[in-house]
Amino acid sequence: MHWRFSGLKLKELIELIGEKKLKKSLGQNLLINDRVAKEMVEYLEGDDEEVLEIGPGTGIVTQKLIEKGLKPVCVEIDSDFCRVLKEQFNDRIYLFCMDFFKFPPQDFKGRLITGSLPYRGAKKMVAHILLNFPHFTRGTFLLQREVADILMAEPKTRDYSPITVITRIRGRVKKIRDVLPASFYPEPRVVSSLVLFEMGKAPPSSLFYTFLRLAFSSRRKNLRNNLKPVIKSLPEWFPSKKRAEEIYPEEFLEIFYRLKNEGFLSAISET
């Protein structure tokens, strides 16, 4: 099912943001579909607890969170939207006007996270959440459909990648539905997906993610050749001839810890 918004709400949004020019560098495509916003909140299944909202924009999802009895902790990088959020919600939200990557994860110990993530850098943002928010167990996100496909990819497929492995190690991602460009202002050139994150396991280390990115650095090469620039020698048990896309998530984790415990990863630094 695909949804569209009413023209009246678009007019109200334009009046709300005034003459502001949305920043392409921040990937600002504002959600204006009320039904999508409502479903983002419904799937959180929370009640009377804090929820971290990334990039609330003008607050369409924020309002739904409040109506559900949740306590939004909003992180918004755009100072103009911060002003709008303060005017609309005042003390009903906790507002941090800052880059999400600079928000201290230790300041949020809740289990719920939501947001319409920017098309640029969404994979990096998802990785940051999965690696640095250990209490995170449930979330709803709007993502570019291609990114959603990567998160849900199976081994031995083109989309299988480091972020897929991290996601599968922490839990699972399920697509709720696709969302057409008309649900945003301005309309993006791509279709989005509303996805549900159900996370039950603790985050792996940042070093593990660095290891994965090395392993996937050239998809045509086998593991040995991809790791050779930083790991000069590998043990006999190492699956040298396999490519990264052939390795299942739990197998990757086992390989990583064996290499680490045997001292083969000393040349790799967390980045």
- Among residues 166, 199, 232, the one where a domain terminates is 199
Domain shared by 117 and 156, yes or no: yes
Look up residue 20 and give its amino acid: K
Domain shared by 132 and 217, yes or no: no
| For range 82-99, the mean pLDDT | 95
Residue 269 lies in a domain: no
Task: Give ∠ CA 265-266-268 in degrees, rounded to 5.
Answer: 70
Residue 100 lies in a domain: yes
Domain shared by 212 and 190, yes or no: no
The Cα 107–Cα 201 span in angstroms is 20
pLDDT of residue 14: 56
Domain shared by 114 and 218, yes or no: no
Instruction: Convert the pLDDT of each residue in 184-210 to its tens digit.
Output: 988 999 999 999 999 999 999 999 999
Domain count, the chain: 2
Nearest CA among 158, 168, 91, 71 for reference residue 126: 168
Domain shared by 211 and 195, yes or no: no
pLDDT tier at 62 (50, 70, 90 boundaries)?
very high
Integer-rounded Cα Rg, in Å, for the chain is: 20
Domain shared by 192 and 220, yes or no: no
3-state secondary structure of 221: coil
pLDDT tier at 20 (50, 70, 90 boundaries)?
low
Which letter does DSSP use for residue 240 in this model? T
- Among residues 176, 199, 222, the one where a domain terminates is 199
- Among residues 199, 221, 247, the one where a domain terminates is 199
Q: Is cis: bond before 186, omega within 30 of 0? A: yes
Residue 241 lies in a domain: yes
Domain shared by 187 and 218, yes or no: no
Domain shared by 164 and 230, yes or no: no
| For range 253-257, the mean pLDDT | 97
Cα–Cα distance list, 225 to 131, 139, 207, 217, 228 (Å) = 26, 37, 19, 10, 5
Q: Facing residues of 92 across strands? A: none
pLDDT of residue 260: 95
Domain shared by 253 and 140, yes or no: no
Structure tokens at 265: 């990863």
Pairing of strands 50-54, 112-116: parallel
Q: Is the pLDDT of residue 133 over 90?
A: yes
Domain shared by 163 and 247, yes or no: no
Residue 271 lies in a domain: no
Domain shared by 212 and 91, yes or no: no
Residue 2 lies in a domain: no
Q: Give me the domain span that covers residue 217.
A: 206-261
Q: Report H helices in the chain.
A: 7-17, 34-42, 60-67, 79-89, 122-132, 145-151, 162-170, 206-215, 223-227, 249-261
| For range 223-227, the mean pLDDT | 95
The Cα 105–Cα 129 span in angstroms is 9
The Cα 265–Cα 231 span in angstroms is 7
Structure tokens at 191: 């279709």
The Cα 113–Cα 244 span in angstroms is 30
Residue 186 lies in a domain: yes
Mean pLDDT, rounded, of the chain: 91
| For range 30-53, the mean pLDDT | 94
Residue 270 lies in a domain: no
pLDDT tier at 26 (50, 70, 90 boundaries)?
low
Residue 158 lies in a domain: yes
Region of 252 on the Ramachandran plot (φ > 0 left; ψ -120 to 50 alpha; else beta): alpha
64 vs 20: which has the higher pLDDT: 64
| For range 74-103, the mean pLDDT | 95
Cα–Cα distance list, 176 to 34, 91, 123, 172, 231 (Å) = 16, 32, 18, 13, 41
φ, ψ of residue 142 to 5 degrees: the values are -95, 125
The Cα 191–Cα 168 span in angstroms is 24
Query: Domain holding 241: CATH number?
Result: 1.10.8
pLDDT of residue 6: 41
Domain shared by 219 and 190, yes or no: no
What number of CA atoms fall less than 13 Å from residue 183's CA on the CB side? 25
pTM of the model: 0.91
